[in-house]
Structure 1
Amino acid sequence: MDMRRLRYYVAVAEEKSFTKAAEKLFIAQPPLSRQIQNLETDLGVLLFERGSRPLKMTPAGEFLYQHAVKLLSNAAEIRAMTQRIGGLEHTVTMGFVGSLLYGLLSKIVYLYSQQQPHLKIEMIEMTTMQQVTALKEGRIDVGFGRLRISDPAVKRVLLREEPLFLALHSNHHLLAQKEGVYLSDIVDENIFLYPNHVQPSFATQVQNLFSEYHLDPTNLRTVRELQLALGFVAAGIGVCIVPESARSIQLAHLHYIPILDQSAVSPIFMSIRNLDKSKDITALFECIYQIYEMEGIKYERHYKG
């Protein structure tokens, strides 16, 4: 089956419009329409319901779409892995969520660069969802994120679960509870969440945590990024739930205390392509475990290459 026609078909199916799909593919609409007609002729079935607006797939079209997406994803993965195994690439590209740089990721990357001097390391900030797509398309080799997102083409490894802390102003009454607070203690506080540009995100992770304990915070406000949220906290406007590593951000009048609920943790995942068992990836895992041992952090060795 022609891979180009499959790419065209997936574009039309997702855009629900020949015109929009043609714009996305940077081709004219008539050739695109002919390719889809040729595909229908080869298969002997109709893939789209005629006259539907927006364009609607037939049951046969739905079936083809589901399998075409998997086939195209596998093709991209095979291409990327073939290039790596053939030694055509000497760069390891990492996707990461910004908050991890406040933790141990910077130390891990530095140790990795020292132990693998022959590699060029590139880092791109992106959401966990974006990392999954980038892995399947071969644009990155590894991703570091906090969300539990499953995809059959991606292997996700839990590195550790990072405790959550409450950021609050030095004059806040809860600071007297130096041993920590429970989520139930802050449901009536002005709580800043972040980020506000994508879903799901760390903000939805925190909201789900409240739901897990059957709590309904009354004053939630979502802002663009972690630094902005902590700036508001330092101004005495509210509080913010953050991963433990965020405590490295120090502002005047800003303090951190533990959240004591058992489930108050943020997982840290490393994601790779399912087929990737390269020495570069194995070496990266070893660097991670070395840093965790040096920092005295408990972990389970889930990956052995």
Structure 2
Amino acid sequence: MRGRKPRIETSGEHLRRLDRRHMANVLENLERCAGELHGQCHERLRRRRQIVRAAEQVHAACGIATQLLERLSFSIEATQRLARKGKRRLGIGFVPSSFYGQLPTLVRRLRQIDALEIVLQEMTSVQQVAALHSGQIDIGFGRIWLDGPGVRQEVLFEEPVLAALPARHPLVGTRPSIERLAEEPLIVYPARPRPSYADVVLGMFHQRGLHIEVLQETNELQTAIGLVACEMGITLVPRTVRRLVREDVVYEGISTAGLSSPLIMCLRHDDKHDPVMASVLEHVYALIELRKRGKF
């Protein structure tokens, strides 16, 4: 070390070293701030998405509520008009498939009662329960069992299920099994609200451990039959639907035992002692008895 002079740092070098340290601290602080900002932005974005989803759900719920209020308002106005005429309004809710059975005959008979004004409203089984609570309907005919307070249900009869096939389908005339039908693209209805008859049909396959391809879900029975006519797939329908005649659709029996769909009547518990509803039920049970005798 002898002979070497100690190095004396100049003021310029000292400043540059301080600048480097300062810049390193600045960069470190910037990185930390950037990380915090990124986290805050991510959290704000997540919250914003939650708010948007909540707003969409509220908007949808408001739309449904508005429709229900409009229907209820219409029912109230109709009831007030009928009251001025000295008539009682009888609201009947029904799923489309029931209209191909005894329901038209029931309506014709009830319309002969001068004191009644019959109002028919197509709706799913789920919607019927809500409509009974609101007073929009007084009796409903559906396809699925729904437990609920204030409403009683009764299975009127079990109806065999048929396969609706395109007229040129190779299964026409063969009485296929449910296992064979599982190999075909399936069309189910109604798509919503759920649960619905669509779940009844899907359950027929799932209970037997069968995998199926659901080609399309639609809300209307007529649309499902139209898609079958287009040769896009098949669908399963209660037997009375075969009265919906099309030359390009064939209703084929299913060889598998135990495939049926119930027709379920639903009423308000509070109406059990209502003399008008008692008269309506007399007509209902009379038609069911005729059906048992093979008259329908």
TM-score in terms of structure 2 length: 0.66
Is residue 184 of structure 1 aligned with residue 179 of structure 2? yes
Q: Is the 8 A contact 2:176 2:254 kept in 1?
A: yes
> How many Å separate the matches in 2 of 1:182 and 1:189?
12
What residue ranges of structure 1 are gaps of 5+ in the alignment?
1-15, 25-87, 299-305
SS in 2 for 1:122: strand
What residue ranges of structure 2 are gaps of 5+ in the alignment?
1-53, 63-85
Match of 2:237 among 242, 247, 254: 242
Match of 2:99 among 89, 101, 111: 101
Is residue 279 of structure 1 aligned with residue 278 of structure 2? no
> How many Å separate the matches in 1 of 2:136 and 2:101?
24
Match of 2:211 among 199, 216, 219: 216
Q: Is the 8 A contact 2:215 2:233 kept in 1?
A: no
> How many Å separate the matches in 2 of 1:221 and 1:297?
38
Match of 1:232 among 221, 227, 234: 227
Larger relative helix fraction: 2
Match of 2:129 among 132, 155, 160: 132
Structure 1 89/155 Cα, relative in aligned 2: closer, same or farther at 3 Å? Answer: farther
Match of 2:157 among 149, 156, 160: 160
> How many Å separate the matches in 2 of 1:108 and 1:217?
37
Q: Show CA shifts across 1:3-41 (max 9, x none).
A: xxxxxxxxxxxxx99xx79x97xxxxxxxxxxxxxxxxx
% identical aligned pairs = 32
Structure 1 284/240 Cα, relative in aligned 2: closer, same or farther at 3 Å? Answer: same
The root-mean-square deviation of aligned C-alpha atoms, in Å, is 2.4
Match of 2:111 in 1: 113
- Bigger radius of gyration: 2
TM-score in terms of structure 1 length: 0.64
> How many Å separate the matches in 2 of 1:256 and 1:182?
14
Runs of 4+ residues deviating >3 angstroms: 293-298
> How many Å separate the matches in 2 of 1:108 and 1:142?
12
Structure 1 219/133 Cα, relative in aligned 2: closer, same or farther at 3 Å? Answer: closer
> How many Å separate the matches in 2 of 1:258 and 1:218?
21
Q: Show CA shifts across 1:110-146 (max 9, x none).
A: 11222x2221111111221111112112222111111
Q: Show CA shifts across 1:202-245 (max 9, x none).
A: 11110011112221113442123111221222222221111111
Q: Is the 8 A contact 1:143 1:272 kept in 2?
A: yes
Moved more, 278-287 or 243-252: 278-287
Q: How does 1:50-89 map to 2 (within 5 A)?
A: none
Q: Is the 8 A contact 2:90 2:138 kept in 1?
A: yes
> How many Å separate the matches in 1 of 2:293 and 2:196?
25
> How many Å separate the matches in 2 of 1:219 and 1:142?
32
Q: Is the 8 A contact 1:188 1:219 kept in 2?
A: no
> How many Å separate the matches in 2 of 1:291 and 1:167?
27
